[in-house]
Amino acid sequence: MRLSVIPCLLAALLTPCSLLAASLSVTSPDGSIELTLDDTALTYQVQFHQQQVIAPSALGFRFLQLPALGKGYKITAHSRNSVNQTWQQPWGERETVVDQHNELVVTLKHPERQAPFTLRFKLFNDGLGFRYEVPDQGVDKLDIIDELTEFRINDSKQTTAWWIPGRGWNRYEMLYRTTALNEVDRAHTPFTFKLPTGVHLSIHEAALVDFAGMVLDQQRDGVLKSDLTPWSDGIRVKTNGSFTTPWRTIQIADNAIGLLNSDLILNLNEPNKLGDVSWVKPGKYAGIWWGMHLETQSWGSGPKHGATTANTKAYIDFAAKNGFDGVLVEGWNQGWDGEWFLNGAVFNFTTPYPDFDLAAITAYGKAKGVKLIGHHETSGHISNYEAQMADAYDLYAKHGVSQIKTGYVADGGQATHIDENGIERKEWHDGQLMVNHYLYSVTEAAKRQLSINTHEPIKDTGLRRTYPNWISREGARGQEYNAWGSPPNPPEHTAMLPFTRMLSGPMDFTPGIFNLAYKGLDAENRVQTTLAKQLALYVVLYSPIQMVADLPEHYAAHPKAFQFIKDVPTDWAQSKALQGEVGNFVVFARQDKHSADWYLGALTDEQARTVTVKLDFLPAGKRFTAQIYRDGKDADWRTKPYEMIIEQKSVTAADSLTLPLATSGGAAIRFKAEK
C-alpha cells in the first residue's frame, strides 16, 4: 500500500500542494491484486499478479441539480483497515465464510465546493469491491442522471465474454452469448470474461438497496460503463441529497473455477438483520406447476384446473411418501382466468377459487408433515400487490404457510405502479422503484416468519446474508423453457449458468425432469439433456430450496434414478468447484450440512467428454460408498437420453473416479460414509 504525491517544487507556485495530483494503492491480503486510485482525472486501475486487468477507468456521477462528481475532486484524507474473520451462514453453500480483506477509505473534495464524498475500497484474495458514500450535498433533492463508473479492458478483441443483453423485454431470461468482448453491446451483470492470458473476471454489484440496478454499456471497444436503469421519467436514482451506492464488484481468478469458489458478493453485504432465523427452512418441494407448462393442467379455472383440493392432497401424499417437505400450488387464487399476464390488476391474493380449500389443505399437509408453499403471481402490478400484501401474508401465516413463491411475469419495462397522482406508470424490473419493492416484500414477509422465493426478480446481489428469508430466486432462463420455449435451453445452458448468473447467488432453476421428451424425441420442445444430467443439476445449480419438478407419474417410471433426488440435501457444510470451463463443463462437490456424506455433480455441454475426478475433497482416513448415477455407454441426449448406469464403489480420499459424460450428459454421486 502506498501514497504518492506529485512534488510541489515549482508547481507549488501555481497550485496549492494539497490540490496537486495524488494516488493511493491498496493490495489484497495475499498481494495478488492491487488497486490504484489516481485523482488526476479521478480514475482507478487494477493489477493481478502485476499484470493490468482493469486499465485506468473513470469514476463519478452526474446530477440534475448539481455539477458532476468526478474529475476535479482531489484526495484530502484516507484511512486503512485490515480484517480477517469468519462468519456463519444459517443456510448456504458453506456454513463458515472467511472474510479477509484490506480496506482503503478515501475522502475527496472539489476546491470550489464544500461537500466532500468518500470512496471505500475492499480488496479480497478473490477480487474487490468499491462504493461511493455521498453525504448531504446541501440540497433537499438530488437526482442521479448518470453514473460515470467505467471498467476498461485492454485487448477487447482477444477477450472472450459470456453475456446476456441488458434491459431487454425478457428481463434476465435469455440465452447466454459467447463473443469477443468488443462485440458486447449492453449487458446484464454478473458479466464474465476471460483475458487472453487466461485470467477470468466477473463484474457485478453487491448490496443493491434503494438504488437502480447496473447494466454495462460498451460505448467504445473495451470500455464498459455503468448504465443505471432509469425510472419512467428518465431519472436514474432519486435521493434526498445523500446516498450510498451498492458495491461495484470485480471477481478475479487464475481460471474459471476460481470464480465459482468466491464468496466476494456475500462478504460485501451486511450481516443478518433479522435475528433468529431458525424458521427459515431449506428443503425440497414438489408442485402443481409442470403440468401447466405441458398444458395438461391450467392455472385458470375450468376442467383442467390444477389447483384443486383433491389434486393438492394427492401431491401432498406424493411428497410425504418420498420425504419432500413442501408442495407448491400455482393458480389457486382468483385472477388467473383470461390473459392474466397482461392484467395484474385483477389478482386477489386472499380469495381462492371455489375448488381450493386452503384451510383443509394446510391441515391435511400438517398431518402428513408437508407444508403448502404459497404462490403470488402479480403480473408485475406492484400497486395491486402492495395494497393486498399485509392481508395476503397474514392469511398464509394463519394457515402455517412459511414460504411464498412470488412472480412478476410482465415484460421488461412493463412493471406497473400507480403514482401519488393516480397515474399509471410503467417501470423496469431492475429500476429503483422495483428494487425497493422486492426488498419490501421480503421485510414484510420476515415480520410474519415467511420466506420469499422471487421469480422474475431483481438480480441477486447477496442480500440473502442480510435477509436470510430471501431464500432463493429465479433471474435466468429456467426449466420451463424446455416445455414451450423456442428454442428450448440448449445443452450448454446449465454449463454456462454456474459461471455467470449463479455467481450472484442461488437460483430456483426447477431441475429433475424425468420425462425428457413429453412430445417425442424429435419435438422442438423437449429437455435437451440426459437423465443423469438432470440428477447432476441438484448438486451443480445451488439453491437451498430445490423443486422436484416433474409429474409424480414420470418419477414412477424411473424409481432407481429417483432415489438420488430423494437422498440429495439442499443445505451444505462445504462446497468446492473442482473442474470446469465456462459453458463447456463443470464438476462440483458439496458436503451435507447434517451428515458426513458428500455429493458430486458433473455435467457437460453438447460435447461428450470424460472427466477424471480426484476424491481428495473427502476426509482422509475414512471410507465412503460411492453411489454413482452416470450416463450409460450409448447415452445421447438426442436419441438415448435415459441410458444410465447405477453402480457402487468403495472409495477413499486417495482414489479418483473416471466419469464418461455423454452429449449433454452428467453424473451424480452420493458418497455415503461407511461405518
Q: Which residues of 334-352 are buried (b: 16+ CB within 10 A; e: fewer)?
A: bbbbeebbeebeebebeeb
Q: Give backbone dihedrals phi and psi of 67, rounded to 5 degrees, phi first.
A: -60, 165
- 109, 33 Cβ separation under 8 angstroms: no
Cell representation of residue 144: 442521479
The type of residue at 337 is D
Q: Which residues of 419-433 are buried (b: 16+ CB within 10 A; e: fewer)?
A: eeeeeeeebbbbbbb
Tell me if the bond preceding 111 is cis, omega within 30° of 0: no
CA dist list (Å): 170 to 409, 428, 482, 537:
9, 11, 16, 24
Strand partners for 86 = 98
User: What's the N-to-C CA distance of the chain in angstroms?
Assistant: 52
- Give the DSSP letter of residue 462: S
- Show the DSSP H helices in 115-236 as ranges: none
Q: Which of 480, 553, 581, 643 is catalytic?
A: 480
Question: Could you count the other beta carbons within 10 Å of the beta carbon of residue 593?
Answer: 17
Nearest CA among 659, 657, 661, 644 for reference residue 608: 661
Measured CA to CA, the distance from residue 119 to residue 105 in angstroms comes to 6
* Catalytic residue check, 480: yes
- 504, 247 Cβ separation under 8 angstroms: no
Cell representation of residue 495: 454449463
Concatenating the DSSP letter of every residue in 488-554 gives ---TTHHHHGGGTGGGSS----------TTTT-TT-SSS--S-HHHHHHHHHHS--SEEE--S-HHH
CA dist list (Å): 328 to 61, 208, 405:
44, 28, 8
State the greatest distance between any 2 C-alpha atoms of the chain, in Å, as a whole number: 88
Measured CA to CA, the distance from residue 150 to residue 153 in angstroms comes to 10
- 419, 425 Cβ separation under 8 angstroms: yes
Q: Mapping DSSP to helix (H, G, I), strand (E, B) and coil, where does residue 5 land?
A: strand
Give 293-302's long-range contacts (Cβ < 8 A, gap of 24+).
293/480, 293/483, 293/484, 294/483, 294/518, 294/551, 296/551, 298/331, 299/330, 299/331, 299/336, 299/340, 300/331, 300/336, 300/337, 300/338, 300/340, 301/336, 301/337, 301/353, 301/355
- Give the DSSP letter of residue 411: P
- 647, 613 Cβ separation under 8 angstroms: no
- 165, 176 Cβ separation under 8 angstroms: no
Chain position carrying cell 465546493: 113
Handedness of CA 168, 169, 173, 176 (dihedral sign): negative
Q: Give the residue numbers marked as catalytic.
A: 480
